[in-house]
Amino acid sequence: MVRALFALLAGLLVLLAACGSGPAAPAAPPAPAPVPVAVEPAVGASDVAPRAAVAATTEGTFTDVTLTASPGGAVAGTLSPDRRRWTPNGPLAYGATYTWSGTATGPDGGSSPLTGSFTTVAPGETVRATLNIGDGREVGVAAPITLQFAAPVEDKAAVERALQVRTSVPTEGSWAWLPDQDGGSRVHWRPKEYWRSGTQVDVAANLLGVPFGGGAWGREDLTTSFRIGRAQIVRADVNSFRMVVERDGRQVMDVPASYGTDSDPARTTRSGIHVVTEKFPSKRMVSPQFGYDVVMGYAVRISNNGEFIHANPGSVGSQGSSNVTHGCVNLSPADARTYFDSALYGDPVEVTGSGVDYSARDGDIYDWAVPWDQWQAMSALT
């Protein structure tokens, strides 16, 4: 009977074991977390300036990023080495819709889409600007950099912050805003002292996307790269009746000359630093005030008030002994041609000894007639 009882208990244990639950099923792995993605400007932003900060960033890594302009197409950009930040390579365009697309992934395999769009400002007016020195030119040591705007600039500080001058050797200089003329504004840059010969100069006017004030914006970016040539300086003492030319510190010309007569202030050759701006193999010169209409050879313009260095066969008898001109520097045809052939835009012509000083009333390039501290004060950023 005892044996039968043990058999019954064993059967019950087997039955209970058979009816009990098996091992628990493994839990399902959690879904990968989304990867944070951010864009600037904010999604839906409008009237965004073309030079505003634009970027897509993620805490994961981007597998692809595209910013597409309508109109315009895909925007060129750069993905950071860690693939966490994308930025455009340059300013955006005006009046366009920009749309993001792409994907970011996280270390656990999760992903998030890159989406959203924004629009850039559509200006009522864009203002054109021009630089005076073209790429690859060689200019004289007194050459100013001039930027002429086709319309008045109200926010001069914003514009000036967008201007850069880089030089191959350290050069102290400053921008200065001159009085508006010809329906627009103008800003000049000059060094404190003459340029050093051989200096390479790179100018960037990053004006696209810059607000000029009054609803106007910059039309486009401008750049130029030029070189400062040999250091040629004209020394023109009106009381010596001679014109001396120095090149790289050596005298290369010393020739008879006749200057404007001091008996009439309107005819006096102005004392001060003039700048060579143009030259003409022959130039018609007309003055209703003084009643002449003549053509002169080898004419080198040194101001916009009518002052030239030029040949004048008719005054050869006075050259070297008296001043009889209407303000120009008269040379013999042979001497005028020699000087003409050597002259570059930006060469300084230092006139001394006359009774009237060169000033703003004598033309648009009177930069060197302005004392340095006053010139600096004409910057919009002072």
- What CATH number does residue 105 fall under? 2.60.40.3780
* Domain identity same for 48 and 107: yes
Nearest 5 degrees, angle CA 363-CA 364-CA 368? Answer: 90
Residue 25's pLDDT is what?
58
Residue 344 backbone phi and psi in degrees, to 5? -125, 150
Does the annotation count 188 as an active-site position?
Answer: no
Q: Considering 119, 144, 173, which residue would you say is the last residue of a domain? A: 119
Do 270 and 319 lie in one domain? The reply is: yes
The CATH number of the domain holding residue 267 is: 2.40.440.10
Looking at the fold, whether 93 and 73 belong to one and the same domain comes out as yes
**Options 188, 274, 310, 326, the catalytic residue:** 310
Q: DSSP secondary-structure letter at 265?
A: G
In a domain, 259, yes or no: yes
- pTM, whole model, 2 decimals? 0.85
Contact at 8 Å (CB) between 187 and 177?
yes
Average pLDDT, consecutive stretches of 10 residues, N- to C-terminus, the chain (382 residues): 43 43 60 88 97 96 97 97 97 97 92 97 96 97 98 97 98 96 93 98 97 96 98 98 98 98 90 97 85 89 94 96 95 98 98 95 92 98 94
Long-range contacts (CB closer than 8 Å, 24 or more residues apart) made by 66-69:
66/100, 66/101, 66/102, 67/98, 67/99, 67/100, 68/98, 68/99, 68/101, 69/93, 69/96, 69/97, 69/98
Give me the pLDDT at residue 16, please. Answer: 40
Say how far apart CA 37 and CA 41 lie, in whole Å. 13
Q: What is the pLDDT of residue 27?
A: 64
**Catalytic residue, candidates 188, 274, 326, 328:** 328
Q: Do 150 and 98 belong to one domain? A: no
Residue 265 sits in the same domain as residue 148: no
- Check if the beta carbon of residue 171 is closer than 8 Å to that of residue 191: yes
Per the domain annotation, does 31 fall within a domain?
Answer: no
Q: Which domain holds residue 111?
A: 37-119
Specify if 16 maps to a domain.
no
**Together in a domain, 335 and 249:** yes
User: Using CA atoms, how far apart are residues 151 and 266, in angstroms rounded to an integer?
Assistant: 32
Please give the tally of structural domains in the chain: 3
Q: Are 84 and 157 in contact (CB under 8 A)?
A: no
* CATH number for the domain that contains residue 134: 2.60.40.3710
Domain co-membership, 73 together with 51: yes
Whether residues 63 and 165 fall in one domain:
no
310 is catalytic: yes
Report the first-to-last Cα separation within the chain, whole angstroms: 116
Q: Cα–Cα distance between 298 and 273 in angstroms, integer?
A: 21
Q: Report the alpha-carbon distance of residue 14 to residue 277 in Å, rounded.
A: 114
Q: Which residues of 54-81 are buried (b: 16+ CB within 10 A; e: fewer)?
A: bebbbebbbeebebebeeeeebebebee
Task: Indicate if 240 and 282 belong to the same structural domain.
Answer: yes
d(CA 10, CA 24): 26
